[in-house]
Amino acid sequence: GDTASMSVLGALLLRRGDLDGAETYLRAATAEGDRAAANNLGVLLHQRGYADEAAGWWRIAAVAGSAAAAHALGRHFRERGDEPGAEYWLRQSAEQGHALGAYALADLLEHRGDSGAERWLRQSAEQGHREAAYRLARALDRQAVGDTSDAFGPGRGAGPNTLGGTAGVLGDLGPGVPKKREGPATGRGEAEQWYRQAAARGHRRAALHLGAILERRGEQKEAGRWYLTAAKEGEPRAACALGFLLRDAGDEESAAVWWLRAAQEGDGNAANALGALHAARGEQQTAERWYRAAMDAGDVNGAYNLGLLCAAQDRVAQAEQWYRRAAYAGHREAANALAVLLLQAGDASGAEPWFSKAAEAGSVDAAFNLGILHAGRDEDGAALGWYQRAAAAGHTDAALQVGMALLRDGEEREAERHLRCAAGGG
């Protein structure tokens, strides 16, 4: 029969899963030197578990100029740990313009930290490979902000100071409510373009990151559309982010629906948000359940909020337990809250290290509290230093203390500036 017809028919049967029927035609076409048939025969044999025999046919096809076979052969070598062999064949495929070959080569190079990966990611992305487009966008993001992680920063998250309800010496220990935070500066133009291309092709994480960029830019409506797209595709972080957008728009009930969906898929931030929502409604048991779920999902805010919840109910021992757990995990406001409890229990020496850790991590309340601690010991110089640090970050009570100290020293003009700051923020 006609070689080309046998090759095409074999490929058709292979796609249908008729391996026996396909093999007959593919072997016949291969015997006539058809390289596409040799490649597809390799695919068929690989599906049957004959990896080495498959590689033999891929080599024949690749030497004859098949980019698809070179790609398959490169992957075969990589699976066996032969990186030089893998790179050789993947490069052969990529240099012929094969999108999958370019992507696989980029993945290999990126895995070993080779800066040449970006070129091949770009080539693959330009040919419509959605995962390449997404990874290229991520690479451009990392270059822009010096970030080597794949962390998602959609404007809200589970960072060490995500929640309000700070536990200052004179402060309220009521349950916190999630606040917005600034994520990595991912709004670079080219990265956004590639996120958009990948998202348009159905890449849910690209849609998530695109939504984050748009939200940070204030384009809430379009951000919501992309979050919704990603959430419907099963991306829990997008469902969580959509919940925050809806809450900010005043639709708390719809927000809760999306948070619930995300939390049920293991998103700790969403579980934490549900906990805060129920705590604000006075539904303490439900709040506690969701805070525990957040903690179990790895969100340190869950432990911190459990501490706040227990403290509000005068369950001091349990509050200390949860604060301590969150503080050891690096939560700065939990460290401050733990120090407050220790100080209230008369353990100033135990409190001071936690205040210091919290303040060094950026807790403004902890800096102010250290000022109070030093002032109580008549260590005025050290107290003023911490008050100044807190005042510079906008703490009005600290600004008042700095202003009063300056007045005592006769520096009226500088004192007035701090007192105005204190009065303006009160």
pLDDT attached to residue 413: 87
Residue 155 has pLDDT above 80, yes or no: no
Alpha-carbon gap, residue 137 to 189, rounded angstroms: 10
Residue 162 has pLDDT above 80, yes or no: no
Alpha-carbon gap, residue 393 to 385, rounded angstroms: 13
* Three-state SS at 23: helix
pLDDT attached to residue 163: 30
Asked whether this chain's domains 3-139 and 188-265 adopt the same fold, the reply is yes
Residue 125 has pLDDT above 80, yes or no: yes
Read off the pLDDT of residues 248-285 as tens digits, 9 standing for 90 and up: 999 999 999 999 999 999 999 999 999 999 999 999 99
Q: Assign domain 363-426 to its CATH superfamily.
A: Tetratricopeptide repeat domain (1.25.40.10)
Q: What is the mean pLDDT of residues 320-333?
A: 96
Residue 417 has pLDDT above 60, yes or no: yes
pLDDT attached to residue 426: 46
DSSP label at residue 57: H
Residue 149 has pLDDT above 90, yes or no: no
**Residue 425: band (very low, low, confident or very high) from pLDDT cuts 50, 70, 90:** low
Q: What is the mean pLDDT of residues 363-370?
A: 96
**Residue 334: band (very low, low, confident or very high) from pLDDT cuts 50, 70, 90:** very high
As given in the structure block, the two tokens for residue 380 are 């005025």
Read off the pLDDT of residues 27-83 as tens digits, 9 standing for 90 and up: 999 999 999 999 999 999 999 999 999 999 999 999 999 999 999 999 999 999 999
Alpha-carbon gap, residue 348 to 34, rounded angstroms: 83
Alpha-carbon gap, residue 120 to 6, rounded angstroms: 34
**pLDDT: is 320 or 115 the higher one?**
320
pLDDT attached to residue 156: 54
Count of other CB atoms within 10 angstroms of residue 94: 26
- What's the mean per-residue pLDDT of the chain? 89
**In CATH terms, is domain 188-265 a member of 3.40.50.300?**
no
**Residue 1: band (very low, low, confident or very high) from pLDDT cuts 50, 70, 90:** low
Alpha-carbon gap, residue 383 to 186, rounded angstroms: 39
Residue 158 has pLDDT above 70, yes or no: no
Read off the pLDDT of residues 164-208 as tens digits, 9 standing for 90 and up: 333 433 222 233 333 333 334 444 789 999 999 999 999 999 999
Residue 330 has pLDDT above 50, yes or no: yes
Alpha-carbon gap, residue 364 to 155, rounded angstroms: 21
Amino acid at 126: E
**pLDDT: is 154 or 317 the higher one?**
317
Domain spans, the chain: 3-139, 188-265, 363-426
Residue 419 has pLDDT above 80, yes or no: yes
Alpha-carbon gap, residue 378 to 393, rounded angstroms: 24
Secondary-structure percent of the chain, ordered helix, strand, coil, rounded to 5: 75, 0, 25
Read off the pLDDT of residues 215-255 as tens digits, 9 standing for 90 and up: 999 999 999 999 999 999 999 999 999 999 999 999 999 99
Alpha-carbon gap, residue 287 to 291, rounded angstroms: 6
The upper half-sphere exposure of residue 36, i.e. CA atoms within 13 Å in the direction of its Cβ, equals: 12
pLDDT attached to residue 288: 96
The class that CATH gives domain 3-139 is mainly alpha
